[in-house]
Amino acid sequence: MNALTYPPHARTYRYDEIDREFIRERIVEFRGQIERRLAGELTEDEFKPLRLMNGLYLQLHAYMLRVAIPYGLLNSAQLRQLGAIARRWDRGFGHFTTRQNIQFNWTKLEDVPAMLEALAEVDMHAIQTSGNCIRNTTTDEYAGATPDEVVDPRIYAEILRQWSTLHPEFTWLPRKFKIAITGSPNDRVAAQVHDVGVLAKRNERGEVGFEIHAGGGLGRTPIIARKLRDWVPEAEFLAYMEAVLRVYNALGQRDNIYKARIKILVRDLGDEFAQMVEREYERMPRDKYRLDPEVVAAIAAHFAPPPFAALEDQSLPDDPEFRQWASASVRAHRQPGYASVTISLKPIGGIPGDASAEQMEAIADLAERHSFGEIRVTHVQNLVLPHVRQEDLYALWEGLRAAGLATPNIGLISDIIACPGMDYCALATARSIPIAQRISERFASLDRQHDIGECFINISGCINACGHHHVAHIGILGVDKRGEEVYQITLGGSATNDAAIGDLIGPAFSYDTVVDAVETLITTYIAHRAPGERFIDTYRRLGATPFKDALYAPA
């Protein structure tokens, strides 16, 4: 595939020859390292830091290659190539992650150079998808399309990507580092549970600036981030971000992996952390780090609006099945006559986030036909076509339905986030995928799902919390207890503006009883909810007592 065969109107950042030459050199370098490993010239311990810098993990059954999808933006040529990679070198599937990346879970070491070359053909790579570095910056999947947007966050996410890729000072941080940025007042990026959360906004003069939060995170010690600054001017954005990273890099606890994340440093230092950042920020030469308007404008040009037609909003066709899908999947657009469409990767009984090669190719075709060749990956493991004519929604639905991609469950109880768990991950202590499958099968009735309303279930297979269970309305954590998988439940978490860590409800449930426990929670909610209340609203109004009483009532 020719690297220049972009869809003509897809608004994704386009590499130049410098970018491409760097990727080619990196592949040659890593190919040599792989050959040395295969020849026995490198031990696994020697090879590990080299492969991690290139996004290659060693899991339970095989290597896993994690491919970077910068801030979740794909064009149709790239998605089509990902499907081809899945078919040729994996088992016909890819797994979309909560960092808006994609993983191939059945990778053979000897195939990795060829996979990386195939990625490079469409300006993609796997660099910095692992290791103690700045990982993929995530952003709003509706960027450039949503009516509530104040600033297009893609511009600044791309600036962060360029700044952070192989940054000489931040290649070996105390631990991995994750940034999320939004340009809307409604947080759809889980900003407050990131190492750094950035809220782009405008002042009364229309100037762009940034509200900065730091020290959030999940895992063993879940913490909501602290606000460091209410306003950082656009020109000072990289200087301030660098100051935050410098303080963390200098003081992060490298001697203890469980205390090495920035959240522990911010928690322990309190207000002193912000003061140290300010002192570092004031010392920095501003001209060296200044973000010039010309640079911003050049990058913004990559994300200019596609050539929208002058249309008027239209009513939807009167087809009950189509309308059910549209009510869950279609979102308002800032351009009259257009809509954004979320594609569920959560079929009933399926594996959350998985897409087959055929489905990726079908979505690529539909994106070219109906969305200017653009696709977005969400941090909740679904995909989005951001710019669809309303008059094309019915045809799009028919195409998705033919590909098995029209499950109308976005935001409902079967729209589950789940990590790979012990089916794949060497760190996991329990299975996640079968629990997600059984829950979605238990609540398969769409009528019942719509009656329950918005309810987010997240599942993690170990304390690292890759399934984000702490910030779910119903969070499930699988752990090992004397050789048996058991599942703890937390309630009342949120990753939006009202971010909160869920409350541990009580003793864990067995593999066989945890789905029944979810059923009990939902039954209790329905019995106690007020009109219009979501699950989380009812929980916050009543507290844990009625849910705990129902779960642990004597038999």
What pLDDT is attached to residue 154?
98
HSE on the CB side for 280, CA within 13 Å? Answer: 20
Taking the CA atoms of residue 384, residue 389, residue 395 and residue 399 in that order, the dihedral angle to the nearest 10 degrees is: -20
Question: Domain 417-552, CATH 3.40.50.300 — does that match?
Answer: no
What pLDDT is attached to residue 1?
40
Question: Domain 145-298, CATH 3.10.20.30 — does that match?
Answer: no
Nearest to 159, CA basis, from 70, 99, 254, 268: 70
Asked whether 457 and 518 are in contact (CB, 8 A), the reply is: yes
Q: Letter for the amino acid at 31?
A: R
Check for a shared fold between 17-121 and 320-403.
yes
Residue 211, strand partner residues? 199
Contacts with 41 (C-beta within 8 Å, 6 or more apart), sequence order: none
What pLDDT is attached to residue 5?
67
> 320-403 architecture in CATH?
Alpha-Beta Complex (3.90)
Residue 432 CA, distance from chain mean position: 17
Asked whether 123 and 20 are in contact (CB, 8 A), the reply is: yes
Every domain of the chain and the residues it spans: 17-121, 145-298, 320-403, 417-552
All residue ranges of the chain with pLDDT < 50 are: 1-3
Task: Name the phi and psi angles at 209, rounded to 5.
Answer: -150, 180
CA distance 36 to 318: 62
Q: Which two tokens stand for residue 380?
A: 């909740």
Nearest to 79, CA basis, from 374, 289, 416, 328: 374
CA distance 544 to 523: 14
Q: What is the pLDDT of residues 274-283, one digit of tens each?
A: 999 999 999 9
Q: Letter for the amino acid at 524?
A: T
Contacts with 342 (C-beta within 8 Å, 6 or more apart), sequence order: 141, 328, 329, 331, 378, 382, 383, 384, 410
CATH class for the domain made up of 17-121 = alpha beta
pTM given for the model: 0.96
CA distance 123 to 200: 27
Beta strands in 397-496 (DSSP E): 417-418, 457-460, 474-481, 484-491
What pLDDT is attached to residue 369?
98
Asked whether 352 and 416 are in contact (CB, 8 A), the reply is: yes
Q: Is residue 211 classed as helix, strand or coil in its secondary structure?
A: strand
